[in-house]
Amino acid sequence: MTTFHRVLGTIIVVLFVVIVLSGLVLRLMGRRETPTALWAVQHWTENLLIVQTVFGIVLLVMGRRVVGDSVPWFHYLYGSLFPLIAIVAGRLAGLRRGEREYVGLALGAFVAFGLTLRAVQTGCGEAVPILRCFGL
């Protein structure tokens, strides 16, 4: 996994955590409206996920493959298809509510967080401790 791909994946995981925690805090505070800043974070996270997916496809076309995972296609599903489905579903759930849209955003981000984290882990290889995947 290239450094750019790994760093961008780490940023996306962190942004998903920010969305989830923001939704939790907003719910605990009893807020009805979704702050514009949360929509912006959601929007940029989606954009970065698309950039990450395109970059991953470029790496795949260039002949770079996932190393260290017994089932490499999991990396491709965890890293692109499933998180995109989760954030789109979260956005749709948020838009249908009328108020407290952040609940749908947070739930979608929670699912996408887990899937993206798993994508980073499968990309780094099973034998590599997860903290080393994030450069720690």
This prediction's pTM: 0.79
Which is more confident, 31 or 70? Answer: 31
In this structure, what is the dihedral angle of CA atoms 7, 10, 11, 13, given to the nearest 10 degrees?
Answer: 160
3: enclosing H helix or E strand: helix 3-29
Residue with tokens 């925690």: 21
- pLDDT band, very low/low/confident/very high, at 1 (cuts 50, 70, 90): low
Other C-beta atoms within 10 Å of 59: how many?
Answer: 16
What would the 3-class secondary structure string for 33-90 be?
CCCHHHHHHHHHHHHHHHHHHHHHHHHHHCCCCCCCCCCCHHHHHHHHHHHHHHHHHH
| pLDDT at 127 > cutoff 60 | no
In this structure, what is the dihedral angle of CA atoms 95, 96, 99, 104, given to the nearest 10 degrees?
Answer: -70
Residue with tokens 């009893």: 30
Contact 116, 83 (CB under 8 A): yes
Span of 60-64, 91-95, 107-111 with lowest mean pLDDT: 91-95
Contact 111, 86 (CB under 8 A): yes
Q: Which of 20-34, 73-87, 122-136 has the highest mean pLDDT?
A: 20-34
Residue-level pLDDT at 17: 92
